[in-house]
């Protein structure tokens, strides 16, 4: 029997569970852009493991590499010992991702998930500079562990730590003040003010597009100005590419379009390609001041993830086909979102590549649209401080037919809710 009674979750699992509330069914299998529940109903998946499945569920190319590895008794867990799988990954990542982009980073495996990469980035920045504070932005999201949480701009999530965390005032993200305040004048002022507590920061941490924060897109010139400020003031620049990296915005790294070169980069989510827990922290080689064992842990260097990650690089990142496809599909989504925004008052849209958001002035509408979409067979989630944005993160490999089908469901769901 391959089914379970869904009461098992409400009875035995913590109240903290979240996505199962948006999608009240029990899932069993998934392939490509579709996920199936135990009643056999198929759903189009426009959430793709919160952006951890850029190449779709059980991608056949990656699956056969993984099956072959396991069939040959490849090492599954290996602490951070040297393994052939890790060596192949390092060769591919350096040779096919970093070198062609003129980037030179050393790679650290900080632990299994995105927040581990952020923790290690924050620790490293403090160790390298000998300074304490980190500057982050309004509506930023960097993870749920204490360090990452302290730079996350969401008070509800910070309150989960039990008491208000000591948290420095975040800087305004691009356009947060709607152009009323010039962000960088404020920024410079705070940095010059010894009373601000932010005048000697170790680092600035930024997402190029805030995913959880509501698909807030930083302009390339804003990112370049941020980089220039960091260089001039000797502050390390950390780009958190956990959600926007691995091709989500088009290019492999989301910061490439702006032409900036961060000192430290975090990656996770889609880096394994197969939805396996895996994270990287990239640092300029001269920043690698760690002492041996200073940031260790049991689950680093996930060997099956090395195998699938290497395969994604070889298969998808040896040319620019996926990048072009992502821009084209992103335009397709933006076009439909543009039509919806034109038709209905109080609706707008924003995004880059294959991360696109439909923004509702009435914040309750976004959740209702997602609920209607679920009834019609589509998974999509909300984001933003008031859950006012329907955020799409479909697999980059989705067919245009499936993309159009999902967009039709979303259009109809929006009509039902606010039409």
Stretch that binds ligand PMP, among 8-16, 238-246, 311-319, 343-351 (CB under 6 A): 238-246
Number of residues near ligand PMP (by CB under 6 A)? 15
Residue nearest to ligand PMP (CB): 114
DSSP designation for 195: G
Rounded distance between C-alpha atoms, residue 91 and residue 287, angstroms:
21
Is 216 a binder of ligand PMP (CB under 6 A)? no
* Residue 338: CB minimum distance to ligand PMP, A: 25
Residue 222 CA: distances (Å) to CA of 191, 217, 265, 384? 17, 10, 18, 21
- Closer to ligand PMP at the Cβ: 114 or 250? 114
Please identify which residue in 57, 126, 142, 295 interacts with ligand PMP, judged by CB under 6 A. Answer: 142
Binding ligand PMP (rule: CB under 6 A), the pick from 114, 247, 273, 353 is 114
Select from 123, 144, 145 the least CA-distant residue to 134. 123
Shortest spacing between CB 208 and ligand PMP, in angstroms: 10
Measured from the CB of residue 269, what is the shortest distance to ligand PMP in angstroms? 6
User: Should residue 278 be labelled a site residue for ligand PMP when binding is judged by CB under 6 A?
Assistant: no
SS (H, E, C) 142-168: CCCCHHHHHCCCCHHHHHCCCCCCCCC
**Minimum distance from residue 254 beta carbon to ligand PMP (Å):** 10
169: helix, coil or strand?
coil
C-alpha 84/C-alpha 80 separation (Å) is: 12
From the list 3-11, 240-248, 383-391, 406-414, the region that binds ligand PMP by CB under 6 A is 240-248
Give, for 312, the enclosing helix (H) or strand (E).
helix 303-316
H helix runs in 174-268, sequence order? 183-192, 220-233
Question: What is the maximal distance between C-alpha atoms in the chain?
Answer: 66
211 makes contact with ligand PMP (CB under 6 A): yes
Interacting positions 253-272 with ligand PMP (CB under 6 A): 268
Cα-Cα-Cα-Cα dihedral sign, residues 91, 97, 102, 108: negative
Cβ-based nearer residue to ligand PMP, 279 or 410: 279
Other Cβ atoms within 10 Å of 79 Cβ, number = 12
Cβ neighbours, 10 Å, residue 162: 7
Cβ-in-10-Å burial (0-12, 13-18, 19+) of 21 comes to exposed
Q: Which of 275, 214, 272, 279 is nearest to 241 (CA)?
A: 279
Of the candidates 54, 59, 108, 115, which one interacts with ligand PMP according to CB under 6 A?
A: 115
Which of 30, 62, 66, 118 binds ligand PMP (CB under 6 A)? It is 118
Among 45, 119, 212, 323, binds ligand PMP (CB under 6 A): 212
Pick the piece of the chain touching ligand PMP (CB under 6 A) from 114-122, 156-164, 350-358, 378-386: 114-122
Cβ proximity to ligand PMP, 143 vs 172, nearer residue: 143
Nearer to ligand PMP, 183 or 212 (CB): 212
Q: Which residue, 113 or 326, is less far from ligand PMP as judged by CB?
A: 113
Which residue number, 305 or 409, has a Cβ lying nearer to ligand PMP? 305
Contact 63, 30 (CB under 8 A): no
Tell the smallest beta-carbon distance from residue 400 to ligand PMP (Å). 26
Query: Mapping DSSP to helix (H, G, I), strand (E, B) and coil, where does residue 242 land?
Result: coil
Stretch that binds ligand PMP, among 99-107, 169-177, 239-247, 360-368 (CB under 6 A): 239-247
Residues near ligand PMP, by CB under 6 A: 50, 113-115, 118, 141-143, 207, 211-212, 240, 242-243, 268
């Amino acid at each position: 029997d391959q089914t379970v009674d869904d009461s098992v979750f409400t009875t035995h699992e913590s109240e903290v569970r979240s996505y199962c509330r948006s999608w009240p069914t029990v899932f069993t299998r998934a392939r490509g852009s579709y996920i199936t529940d135990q009643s056999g109903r198929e759903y189009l998946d426009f959430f793709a493991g919160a952006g951890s499945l850029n190449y779709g569920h059980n991608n056949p190319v990656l699956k056969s590499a993984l099956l072959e590895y396991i069939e040959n008794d490849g090492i599954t867990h290996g602490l951070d010992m040297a393994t052939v799988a890790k060596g192949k990954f390092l060769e591919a990542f350096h040779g096919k991702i970093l070198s062609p982009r003129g980037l030179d980073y050393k790679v650290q495996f900080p632990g299994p998930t995105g927040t581990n990469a952020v923790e290690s980035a924050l620790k490293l920045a403090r160790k390298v500079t000998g300074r304490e504070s980190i500057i982050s932005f309004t509506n930023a999201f960097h993870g749920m562990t204490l360090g990452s949480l302290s730079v996350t701009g969401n008070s509800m999530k910070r309150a989960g730590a039990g008491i208000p965390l000591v948290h420095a005032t975040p800087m305004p993200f691009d356009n947060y003040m709607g152009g009323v305040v010039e962000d960088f004048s404020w920024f410079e002022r705070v940095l010059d003010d010894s009373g601000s507590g932010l005048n000697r920061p170790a680092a600035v941490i930024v997402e190029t597009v805030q995913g959880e924060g509501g698909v807030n897109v930083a302009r390339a010139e804003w990112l370049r100005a941020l980089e220039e400020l960091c260089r001039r003031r000797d502050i390390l620049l950390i780009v958190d590419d956990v959600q926007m990296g691995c091709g989500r915005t088009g290019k492999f790294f989301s910061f490439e379009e702006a032409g900036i070169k961060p000192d430290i980069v975090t990656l996770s989510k889609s880096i394994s390609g197969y939805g396996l827990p895996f994270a990287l922290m990239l640092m300029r080689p001269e920043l690698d001041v760690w002492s041996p064992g200073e940031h260790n842990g049991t689950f680093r260097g996930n060997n099956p993830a090395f195998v699938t990650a290497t395969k994604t690089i070889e298969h998808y990142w040896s040319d620019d086909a996926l990048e072009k496809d992502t821009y084209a599909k992103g335009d397709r989504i933006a076009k439909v979102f543009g039509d919806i925004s034109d038709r209905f008052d109080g609706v707008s849209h924003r995004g880059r590549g294959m991360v696109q958001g439909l923004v509702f002035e009435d914040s309750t509408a976004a959740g209702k649209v997602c609920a209607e979409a679920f009834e019609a067979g589509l998974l999509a989630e909300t984001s933003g401080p008031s859950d006012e944005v329907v955020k799409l993160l479909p697999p980059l490999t989705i067919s245009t037919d499936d993309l159009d089908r999902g967009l039709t469901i979303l259009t109809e769901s929006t009509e039902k809710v606010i039409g």
